[in-house]
Structure 1
């Protein structure tokens, strides 16, 4: 059975997350990203109740992917002059994974921001920009591979 990895990050990194998913899929992983629809959606014309309901739906769908994942890879590219940027949704997703004992791996060092301590505290490692290095790291965290499914 393929290793399942949910990729999380700012929606402004959607192209990058999809490229990471493709590189992981080429290695035999099931790689899941947020839905592109959220990035391209025009939020400006919605009433507050509709806005909240729609956002909740996007969040719930991605959290369901995390729940069935063997690991989460945080695609934390530079943004807002912060290297390894982690925004509020991404931090929420990482904490959710951590609470479920799903390993959380960061693409880049997340320590240089307001929530850096929280990120580092729940991290199983950082792959220094090479998403494919998540696989050896997972084998290190859970030797034997098959134990990746036990969570």
Structure 2
């Protein structure tokens, strides 16, 4: 048997391959309702008047699903730091890169070192689309992209970090 005969036999099977039962044991024919009759029956059973007979698109039939950045069960975390030397900034940056916010108190370090640390933190926060904001006299908050900071502080912060 060649390939073409096998192909034809596969798709064009003979009628003799199937067995049909001509007896109608327990089966009966029901009259088929016309489209007008079925529309009248539907209108009678559904009292709600639906003026829009167009089929709904797939977008309208889907439930609303919102994407979330954080997984369920993850808690937002703010880690508090009080650096004493410049190399302490590595720990702070690691927390920001891991998705945690860092609250930094610069009261134990001189202004020149604290300015260098803030510059370094600003670059690290920018790399993860975060931000660094001053929230007190010598306190800064560095956050990654999944934190939102809102509101203002009414205190006069002074100009201790400006040249």
Q: TM-score, normalised by structure 2?
A: 0.25
Q: Point out which structure has higher relative CO (alpha carbons under 8 A, 6+ apart).
A: 1
Could you say which structure has the larger radius of gyration? 2
Q: TM-score, normalised by structure 1?
A: 0.26
